[in-house]
Structure 1
């Protein structure tokens, strides 16, 4: 029994390392420039072993997207512990600003991947990247709805668009301070949104 558990545990550990490193390396290098050998090297897994877990690079891209989704779940799960939806949205903005150095160097992990996948000839994985962004939009819209604000879905689009835009500009200009400045503007914008007065 002990002998069968250890190989399974080692296999799960290798797969996990490959998934984590796929998300990081694909973000830093892009899909087209990344090879399976790059990911194997980063995960400290023999390149021949990669094919045991992932038959193609596309499967590794899907694994990277699942890692982005897991990060999103972790972040929103932490933010959901805050009692006030406005505090949750502020926490989201601050989390983006905290990642400003990474965004300035490589862009938004999911956004850049979605754009790159959309330009591929086969066009099969771009919808998967869009699914992760859709989940963020849905979560954000839920917070605006909980605040009683009109057009919560449109407000969510405004907020996520602002994030994608400031990530893109910070990356293009290699300017992490741009993210910090725009994050402050988003916090002021959020504070300015008032729920309609039901007695008016």
Structure 2
């Protein structure tokens, strides 16, 4: 296996994450994950002894996705950071509407299920929230930006309306960034 080919364990985790995002944790069996990963069910147990072990590994993958995003944005000044963040949020309105927030939806489901990993999911969302708030405050933008974005994910998903999502995020972005620019001018 070359260095760019994900390990079997990583393939299973990514398959599980995709299934959880598209079919929910409660709507996904280990057999579904094994099938999505292209392995026999028995092989999945070699890597993950329990369903909870797999959920924890998926949360680690989510945390790595979040950290990769934050690392990519880290060199930017706060206002540029926020612009790049909004660009990332707007990168695929159809997917955002179909799946919701890539971090919050899974964490919310785990909390609703009373899953033992719910607190771990909440930690990831808390880290995400703090990063956005820190940059918003540094740019002189309201820290409500994070909650507004999460609201857009939720409502557009409920209404199954990608155009609503895109327009809402653009409105949030424009209001936040134009207010910041106006404040600097006065």
TM range (shorter): 0.7 to 0.9
Q: Which residue of 1 aligns with 2:63?
A: 69
Structure 2 residue aligned with 1:20 = 14
Runs of 4+ aligned structure 1 residues displaced above 6 Å come to: none
Per the alignment, residue 48 of structure 1 pairs with: 42
Q: Distance in 2 between matches of 1:142 and 1:103?
A: 23
The count of residues paired between Structure 1 and Structure 2 equals 181
Q: Does 1:58 align with 2:44?
A: no
Aligned to 2:180: 193
**Length-normalised TM-score, structure 1:** 0.82
Corresponding residue of 1:171: 157
Measured after TM superposition, the shift of residue 194 of structure 1 is 5.8
8 Å contact from structure 1 (residues 94, 183) kept in 2: no
Matches within 5 A, 1:121-136: 121=114, 123-136=115-128
In the superposition, the TM-score normalised over structure 2's length comes to 0.87
Match in the other structure for 2:97: 104
Structure 2 gaps of 5+ residues are: none
Q: Which residue number in structure 2 is paired with residue 37 of structure 1?
A: 31
Provide the secondary structure at the position in 2 that maps to 1:98. coil
Deviation at residue 48 of structure 1 after TM alignment:
0.4
- Residue in structure 2 matched with residue 3 of structure 1 by the alignment: none
1:142 aligns to what?
134
With over 3 angstroms needed to count, the CA separation of the structure-2 counterparts of 1:99 and 1:68, relative to structure 1, is farther
Secondary structure of the residue aligned to 2:7 is helix
Runs of 5+ in structure 1 lacking a partner?
1-5
How far 1:136 sits from its partner (Å)? Answer: 1.0
CA displacement, residues 66-114 of structure 1 (integer Å, 9 cap, x when unaligned):
11111111111111132x2111111111111113111211222322212
Question: Partners in 2 of 1:99 and 1:67 — Cα distance?
Answer: 20
Correspondent of 1:80 among 74, 85, 108: 74
**RMSD of equivalent CA atoms:** 2.2
